[in-house]
Every structure is written in C-alpha cells, then in structure tokens.
Amino acid sequence: MKNVLFSLTAAAVLSGAALAAPVKLPTIPVTLEPNARLLTLNDAGIAKAFPSSAGRPDAVFLTEDRKVSVAFEWREGKLAPSQVQDLVAQFPAVIRAQIPNVKTLKASVLQIGGTPWAQFVFTTPGQGDDLRRELLMTSAEGRILVITIAGNQKDYSRNEAVIRNLVNSVRVD
C-alpha cells in the first residue's frame, strides 16, 4: 500500500485540481463532485502507479498532500443490488484471507446517493502509523463497482472531510 501511494506521488502525472461541479466519470457509471482540494490522476499517472492492468482503477483522486487516494474500479464480476447486503457477511473472510495482519475490520451497509453500499474499513500495521483502507462496494449495471480509499491513519484523519465530501457526492448512474 505504501508503495502504491509513493508511486502515485512519484508519478507526478496529475491533472489540475478538480472542479466543484458534478463530473461524470468517463469509463464508469458514476457522477461525483470533486473539489479544489483533490487532484485527479490522469490515464498516464494511473498506468504508472498501477503497472499491472489487472486491478488497475478507472479513476483516481488524491488529496492535496498526495497522502490519501480514492480509486474507482468497475469490475467485471457480477453483483445484483440485492446481493450488496450479503457482501457485508461474506467479504470480511476474504479480506482476512488475502491481507496479512489485519488489526481492525468493520463491515456495514450504508446509503450513498440513494444506493446501498457495502463498507469495509480495516487497518494493518505500518511503519510509524497503521495503514487504513476502506472498500465501498455496490452494484452498477449488474457489475461490481468498488471505491478504495487508502492511506495511513493520520493522513486519512487529516483529510477526512475532503474524502467524505467526495464519497458522499457519488451517484451511480
């Protein structure tokens, strides 16, 4: 995770600060309202930060300090809206199996823009501070839409208002 954030910073291929008007993401069925305190990683920056095309996000926003990323990925896997609740019960075991040393893990369902999302917030040990990851998952056109918020705990706390404003503005089209 730290390497991904370092790569995002090292990529230095950022477009200008996002505007506060609603923006339709070009490759996924999402409209959101970024603000001037977020940077948008362009396609070249995404490719550099995520060299493997497998699991490469469709869109990435960074906090001004480039310490917390918000990545959007529209996966090929199938997910019906009625299955979002099931993820809350099933997916924590997947997280624990795939990610070593999970310290804390919270799973819940929340509503964002009238759409149910499964939310998973977990921490893992890091150098000097715990790493914090948040996965938000929902159904979009029968496929899995994932938002991944990643950074260390202190950086997330410092940028929480900006991140929550972005996430709360998300509308699945």
pLDDT tens-place string over residues 121-157:
999 999 999 999 999 999 999 999 999 999 999 999 9
pTM: 0.88
- In tens, the pLDDT along 49-67 reads 888 888 899 999 999 999 9
User: Once rounded to an integer, what is the mean pLDDT over residues 100-105?
Assistant: 95
Tell me the three state secondary structure of residue 69.
Answer: strand
Contact residues for 167 (Cβ-Cβ < 8 A; gap 6+): 70, 112, 136, 147, 149
Q: What per-residue confidence (pLDDT) applies to 4? A: 44
pLDDT bucket at 13, cuts 50 / 70 / 90: very low
pLDDT bucket at 91, cuts 50 / 70 / 90: very high
**Helix (H) and strand (E) counts for the chain?**
4, 11
Max distance between CA atoms of the chain, in angstroms, equals: 41
Question: What is the chain's mean pLDDT, rounded?
Answer: 88
Q: What per-residue confidence (pLDDT) applies to 20? A: 59
